[in-house]
Amino acid sequence: MTLVPESPRTDTLEADFYSFQDLLTPAEQKKALAVREFMEREVRPIADDYWERAECPVHLFKPYAQLGTIGSGWAETQGEETSAVFRGWVGMETARVDSSFCTFIGVSGGLAMTSIGVGGSAEQRAKWLPPMASGDLIGAFGLTEPLAGSDTAKGLRTTATRTGDTWVLNGAKRWIGNATFADVVVVWAKDTADDQVKGFLVRKGTPGFTATKIERKQSLRIVQNADIVLDGVEVHEADRLADINSFRDLAKVLRITRDGVSWQALGTMIGAYEAAVAYTKQREQFGNPIASYQLIQDKLATAYANVTAGFAMCVRVAQLQDNGTQTDAHAAMAKAFVTTRMRETVALCREACGGNGITLDHGVARFFADAEAVYTFEGTKDMNQLIVGRAITGHAAFV
């Protein structure tokens, strides 16, 4: 009997060596493929140009939203039930083509919507989540400050003072993605009455709110990060996130979104890996494709193993989120580990492409540069390691 080999699947990623995609339901796989096709069709052809010009393709936000994946974790915008693994997978598919675009989408659909989904009242969730999921509204997330990054738990300087049903916000924020054009910015501030962190929904055009684009960035250039000044900004009590009463409540948001950064890091290294494989197969030296040489294969094999380990870490921490057992340390370990492996991987892929690896024309340079920001935000490696260290020893070593 002659065995006929099966035709290779065209709906899977070659980088998914251990077939993690099979953990998704058929419906989730179909949606993930739709995201992949959108990114290849709409984003990849323009990504390098927008990145080089440091401009954001805001016009693609609503078409992306129409894929139905933004806000799929919340009852108000879910449609059909999905897993945390699927939601992470969507982030990976997006970052695999453009990590900047993934951040643009993730700030609104991840950080801002998660803040409302976790901290908002039923009325707030019903009001804000559906138009954000449909792409009719774009959100931003204002936590980091000029003098407060790793120490935001205690070092937040932006203040909120209540007078009757009005809160007055004063302070400054930095590195706030989408803030120059967002319809709503979630601003985190310390209540002057009890010194506890509260969350506020600041609408576009509110007097006293200004956002200035940060120029000369060399990573995630498509993302429009901004310096924000809050000068006597008035917010009604109805726009204070009802269920956020301390930094511990805010930490619930960060735990969920930190998973998303792990998936983004995975997508970033996959993008670099795929570009490096393609390049080394067609680039010839000494009469042969450089992919045929041992030292190049060693770099690619190491990158492939890093991608596979990243898949395993991301999938498992998402499963823990689904079954309700995920801790801060679980999310922190994933973020620290996967971003570290990402940083190594994009460097190996850049190296495999030689001098051509530093140009946008060969597909690796953008991922190489973007990896630096992904490595840092949502908690540096050092801070995430200390969260894991606290879980191991029972001692907090943050100061």
Tokens of 364: 């690796």
Tokens of 242: 């009802």
pLDDT value for 255: 84
> Do the Cβ atoms of 197 and 247 come closer than 8 Å?
yes
pLDDT value for 7: 43
- With CA atoms as reference, report the closest residue to 54 among 266, 370, 350, 377: 370
The alpha carbon of residue 248 and the mean position of all alpha carbons in its chain are separated, in whole angstroms, by: 21
Sequence length of the chain is 399
The alpha carbon of residue 233 and the mean position of all alpha carbons in its chain are separated, in whole angstroms, by: 28
pLDDT value for 155: 82
Beta bridge partners of 197: 190
Beta bridge partners of 211: 228
pLDDT value for 11: 83
Q: Consecutive sets of 10 residues in the chain, 399 residues long: mean pLDDT of each?
A: 45 93 95 96 97 96 94 83 92 97 95 94 95 96 88 86 97 96 97 95 97 96 97 97 92 86 97 97 95 97 98 96 93 95 98 95 96 91 93 90
Neighbours of 269 (CB within 10 A): 32
pLDDT value for 4: 38
Residue carrying structure tokens 């974790």: 73
Distance from C-alpha of 212 to C-alpha of 207, rounded to nearest angstrom: 15
Distance from C-alpha of 223 to C-alpha of 221, rounded to nearest angstrom: 5
Q: Which residues contact 12 (CB under 8 A, 6 or more apart)?
A: 19, 21
pLDDT value for 12: 85
